Structure 1
Amino acid sequence: MKSSIIFLVLVLFLSSCDDLFDPAIENIRGLDAMYKEPTYAQGVLANAYILLPYSSTPNSDVATDDAVSNDNSNNYLMMATGSWTAANNPMSQWQDRRNAIQYLNLFLSNADQVEWSKDEVVRTMYNDRLKGEAYGLRAVQMYYLLLAHGGWTEDGRLLGFPIVTQPEDATSDFNQNRNTFQECVDQIFADAKKAIELLPLDYGNVADDQVPQKYKDLGVTNASDYNRVNGNLMRGRITGRIVEAVRAQVALLAASPSYSAGTNVTWEDAANYAATVLDRIGDVGGMDPNGDTWYANISEIEALASGVTPAEIIWRSDVGQSNTLETDNFPPSLYGSGRINPTQNLVNAFPMENGYPISDQSSNYDPANPYANRDPRLSNYVVFNESTQGPNNDVIVTGTYGDNNDAINRENGLSTRTGYYLRKLLRYDCNPDPQYNTEQKHYTARIRYTEIFLDYAEAANEAWGPTGTGSHTFSAYDVVKAIRARAGVGTANNDAYLESVKGDQDKMRELIRNERRLELCFENHRFWDLRRWKVPNLNETATGIQIDNSNGTLIYKPIDVEGRDYKDYMYYGPIPYGEIQKWSNLEQNAGW
């Protein structure tokens, strides 16, 4: 894949720099060149991988009630505080997704003519897999288009994007209407179905008797031929399992309150699609016991072979050696810029270790000692006052009495604004100190099993109630209990709080949403969740904590840090203003 990308980039570079050479080099190649050059053909497909929408940084979280940035020029900060327009949209997916879809359409229109192998059976296997990848990737790209730009028009129609499944050229009619949201969902489901039919569930070498029957029927008797196409070397590419997870994500979106009135996708559909993924690992019994700290499971990360996924991960990026996240987010005393500051809003969402919310009398929460006996995930995900961070376990003082720039608001653009620093996603054993500049291995979790478990819990609760199972063997209650037990919450009292709400669908909904907030924090989910739920939190003021030392006694004072300025129509993102100006048939979402 890397060779394919380099090859295609070189071709594009040379064709764009033609005028640098005298005489000019004729190197503008037609697509028919791919028919005899599989590397060139795969280079076209590779662009859809390059343009995948997943972010390695928690950028969108600073546009929610979970975090703020200490960088005043941050686009998401400006967006959240009133500068979000159709012409200035850091959440836009329009250009990159549509570019990727064009590459995929080009590939799909020509793949059948590519000579993937001289051996006809091997050629069929290659063609199946690569077309399966293209259909799966197109489903991903379309999902993110729908997520970012689906919305209601002034006349009450729920629209998505213009569905384009054929490559466009200079003669194409670009002035297209947006398809309905439902039509877009149907197209994604259709692509997912084709991908699942063509792709292996997972890549990996097999024995002769494990070759899929459809290829045995074509005459494949030697596993080496199959492994050449779908073996270990292909790990990291999109698979049938990944596409099943994407399909579950799409169904959850379509069934959610913001969109359900314009679709025929039900909560039961969403639960069933998620269950397809989870049944493959034995439902809650297959939950990774260390999945909540996937980013910090150092021995696991260090041992990862190329393309291999840990038990928690359905799809991940390549592993890279860096300390960029730490340089951006460590406290300044550790040579970091302290960019992402978790809010008091988020900290308050972590229950006590006994499972009760801190607002519940049974929680035994002590405002004068607010971090004692809390959900262990709080200390795993957030650096709070007088906790430790970094390779030497330095104590970080965020209170006003601190003697360095770690203290709240001590240095503009460097110190925390909320009284908290980020811990999640970071490796403590990195050292941004220029004297050492120690880097460690990281990867981005594109889709986690925990996300799909939470998808199932949300949909199952709405479809069948907290303890209903539909046609499956586990319930929303079972999922929440397993997730909280894994985190060390409610383990000493049989999670009495969960037991108290398991008969109430509304209270279970609130608990599931909160568990989703905690488990997926800083992984770019919160913004999209608030919008699809259509809840007031989107406009909730971001708060922090000012901690003063009065003669040895710490005084905790909640503070407002940053207001949010979202209008009601902003639950649905805009179509880019420039596109609306260019194409008269392209209708804008209401309010923009």
Structure 2
Amino acid sequence: MRLKHLFIGSMIGWGCLASCQDQLDYHEYSNDDKNFITENYKNVGGLVTNIYAQLDADWGNYGGAMLASACDEAEYAWTSSSIHDFYNGAWSASNTISSAWSKNYTAIQQCNMYLEEFLGLTFPELRLNSDYEAQMFRYNNYENEVRFLRAYFYFNLARQYGDVPLLTKVPSTDEVNTLKRTPVQEVFRFIEDECDAIVDKIPADYTKLGAYAIPDEKPETGRANRLAVLALKARTALYAASPLFNPEQNSDLWLKAAEANKAVIDSCAKYGYKLGSYDQLWGADNYQSKEMIFMCRSQKESNSLEGYNFPIGVEGGKGGNCPTQTLVDAYEMQSTGKLWNEEGSNYSEEPGSDPYADRDPRFALTIARNGDEKWPSYNKTPLQIYYGGVNGEPLSGATPTGYYLKKYCDASINLTASSSNKKYHSWITFRLGEFYLNYAEAIFRYTGEVEQALPGDQTPLTARDAVDVVRFRVNMPKLRDEVRDSEMFWKRYKNERMVELAFEGHRFWDVRRWKEGELLQKVTFMKITRNSNGTYNYRREEKQRTWDDKMYLFPLPQSELMKNKNLVQNPGW
């Protein structure tokens, strides 16, 4: 049997995988014959590595643009990027922009093939080795990892398309072309059931490869563990309860989401995961953060993210994904805990004042603003983002919003011709901070109260408490006492989520699952001019974007509808 159909357009060379062995220590195989693969334990491990390599990250998937630039977090500086098609009227079933349908089903095909063809092996050639039991523990755990990965890829599909075909075996060609869409709640239940089935089987810690220590081997920190399984179930439960997928607002789904996300928080406490320094969430060593539950490690060192996003006017920088004033306005004043436009906030845009003083510390770690020094480190001149400045309009590629991106970018990367360097990057898939916010949303939606915890919980946590935990990490004051009624709390919760999870791939999907697409109809930019005395004028400018309720879900690719008449297009497309 040949396995060519296992790797539909996605065979991955081992030259690029070898660079991240400290994160995922599997081994090479170079032949796609089943007999060859099954005769050697290391070759089977190579199949699993290839599946891990399909995990998603967004280092600029749209010609340098991130999905953040398709919502109100950012505006991409270059008009030629396909990211603008999300809101300029060009999005359609023939121009789906995203390739998520084919990518995720390719990965699912790999998972199904592995689960059908490569379980129950015994590797007799290893029996006399002293580490045989440890290696067999690793091999037997592959099943749990692959089931987790398959469930994760299905979550990506359900989040994006709603109802999708649910396959747990390798289909024939005829079957592929006759599949029907499975209701999205059934897909969500499948994901949750898979997580329940494997959570007690998969290790919580790979430091010693379960109970078996293998001398001289590095810990495999990039593999899915028990916390990752709990996290996938919890995020899935949150989406399943959200208005887009739960139009009847079944409160039982919110209860399930609250319980699942609280389980992540409690398990993180049990296994030593905790919130650390916010700026340790990205950079070459972010995989070492005790907040990190699961991530997608880059396959090789690179500097393309920095090249896309370092400021115009800095050697090697292209401007890229520019944070909006809409996002900037979400950062409260640190001393008052108030938004910029609330009475008594201490905010001012008057000439001579600093509109960025006293801001939530996450602002300076996420966004580069006019006057910032040493961004990036090799830039010796403070950023001049005002009109006519070294880094400002009307230069081609200059930020249209008044800001540049810091988050995820590594300031120590040098893009100069004489000193260019590269580093590893890791995309955050699951981290603890998200699940405090997920829990806050779920328990608030279930109880309708800000100060009520889960009934019978041994470590009670209210919605307000959960949000404050995230705020305290960066020395922000607790939510003000007046944030008690439902409307005010919901506004503040959304604001906190936008700030905490900025550019991590959440905002685009959050607005959709909340069915609050009107938030994306306009974004605000900041236009800065410099006065002769060195002070600055700040002027807000609004930009309208196209929104249609059909955009809550993506269109199925027209090519798939032509091949399979049983597939039905999403409404409006």
Q: TM-score, normalised to structure 1's length?
A: 0.83
Match of 2:408 among 404, 425, 437: 425
How has the CA–CA distance of structure 1 residues 289 and 197 changed in structure 2, closer, same or farther, with 3 Å as cutoff?
A: closer
Deviations 1:14-34 (A, max 9, x none): xxxxxxxxxxxxx99653543
Matched, 1:134 2:146: yes
**Alignment check: 8 A CA contact 2:243 2:249 kept:** no
Kindly indicate whether residue 546 of structure 2 is the aligned counterpart of residue 565 of structure 1. yes
- The code of the aligned residue for 1:79 comes to F
Aligned partner of 1:192 in structure 2 is 195
C-alpha contact (below 8 Å) 2:151/2:191 kept by paired residues: yes
Structure 1 residue 359 and structure 2 residue 341: aligned? Answer: yes
* Pairing 1:500–2:482 present: yes
Which of 342, 349, 360 aligns to 1:375? It is: 360
Gaps of 5+ in 1: 12-26, 151-159, 212-222
- Whether 1:436 and 2:419 are equivalent positions in the alignment is yes
Question: Which of 230, 236, 257 in structure 1 is aligned with 2:222?
Answer: 236
Report how far residue 564 of structure 1 moved: 1.4
Corresponding residue of 2:294: 315
The partner residue of 1:180 within 177, 180, 183 is: 183
Q: Deviations over 1:22-55 (max 9, x none)?
A: xxxxx99653543323333333333321211232
Preserved CA contact (<8 Å) 2:276 2:290: no
Aligned residue in 2 for 1:457: 440
Residue pair 1:149, 1:575 contacting (<8 A) in 2 also: yes
Matched with 2:25 is: none
- Conservation of the 8 A alpha-carbon contact between 2:12 and 2:50: no
Corresponding position of 2:233:
247
In 2, are the aligned partners of 1:481 and 1:498 still within 8 Å (CA)?
no
Q: Displacement of 1:78 after TM fit? A: 2.2
* SS of match in other structure, 2:152: helix
Partner residue, 1:154: none
Q: Give the Cα separation in 2 of the matches to 1:283 and 1:89.
A: 43
Alignment check: 8 A CA contact 2:278 2:362 kept: no
Alpha-carbon contact 1:429-1:440 (below 8 Å) kept: no
Q: Output the TM-score relative to the length of structure 2.
A: 0.85
- 1:526: Cα distance to partner? 1.0
List per-residue Cα deviations over 1:60-93 (Å, max 9, x = no partner). Answer: 0000111111111211122222211122123342
Contact 2:282 2:407 in 1 (8 A): yes
CA RMSD for the aligned pairs? 2.8
Asked if the contact 1:293–1:380 (Cα under 8 Å) also holds between the matched residues in 2, the reply is: no
In the alignment, which of 255, 258, 279 is matched to residue 244 of structure 2?
A: 258
Measured in 1, the distance between the counterparts of 2:550 and 2:381 equals: 45
Cα gap change, 1:284 to 1:41, in 2 (>3 Å): closer
Q: Provide the rounded CA distance (Å) in 1 between the counterparts of 2:398 and 2:440.
A: 38
Aligned residues: 527
Distance 2:421 2:42 in 1: 37
Shift of residue 422, structure 1, vs aligned partner: 0.8
Is contact 2:561-2:569 (8 Å) kept? Answer: yes
Give the SS at the match of 1:82: coil
* Aligned-partner residue type, residue 155 of structure 2: Y
Between 1:565-574 and 1:536-545, the stretch displaced more is 536-545
Deviation at 1:342, TM superposition (A): 0.8
Residues 243-392 of structure 1 mapped to structure 2, 5 A cutoff: 243-261=229-247, 266-282=253-269, 287-291=274-278, 293-295=280-282, 301-302=284-285, 309-318=288-297, 321-335=301-315, 336-353=317-334, 354-368=336-350, 369=353, 370-388=355-373, 389-392=375-378
- Letter matched to residue 98 of structure 2: M
How far residue 346 of structure 1 moved from its aligned partner, in angstroms, is: 0.8
Letter in 2 for 1:371: Y
Distance 1:170 1:568, change over 3 A: closer
Q: 1: CA distance between counterparts of 2:112 and 2:520?
A: 39
Residues 1:169 and 2:172 are matched in the alignment: yes
The letter of the residue matching 1:135 is: R
Mapped partners of 1:565, 1:272: distance in 2: 37
Distance 1:10 1:258, change over 3 A: closer
Distance of 1:193 and 1:79 partners within structure 2: 36
- Letter matched to residue 315 of structure 1: F
Residue 536 of structure 1: how far off its partner (Å): 3.7
| 1: CA distance, partners of 2:526 / 2:39 | 64
Over 3 Å counting, the alpha-carbon distance change for 1:395 and 1:9 in structure 2 is: closer
SS at match of 2:482: helix
Q: How does 1:537-552 map to 2 (within 5 A)?
A: 537-552=518-533
Pairwise CA distance, 1:443: 2.2
Paired letter, 2:407: K
Distance 2:400 2:271 in 1: 39
Gaps of 5+ in 2: 1-6, 15-29
Partner Cα separation in structure 2 for residue 284 and residue 484 of structure 1: 22
Post-superposition Cα deviations, 1:321-365, rounded to whole Å, max 9, x if no partner, equal 333222211112222001111111111111111211112102121
Q: Distance in 2 between matches of 1:133 and 1:473?
A: 32
CA–CA separation in structure 2 for the residues paired with 1:283 and 1:351:
32
Aligned partners of 1:126 and 1:349: how far apart in 2? 45
CA distance in 2, matches of 1:103, 1:288: 35
In structure 2, C-alpha distance between the alignment counterparts of 1:583 and 1:545, rounded to whole Å? 48
Aligned equivalents of 2:273, 2:296: Cα separation in 1: 22
Find the counterpart in structure 2 of residue 204 from structure 1.
Answer: 207
Q: CA deviation at 1:285?
A: 10
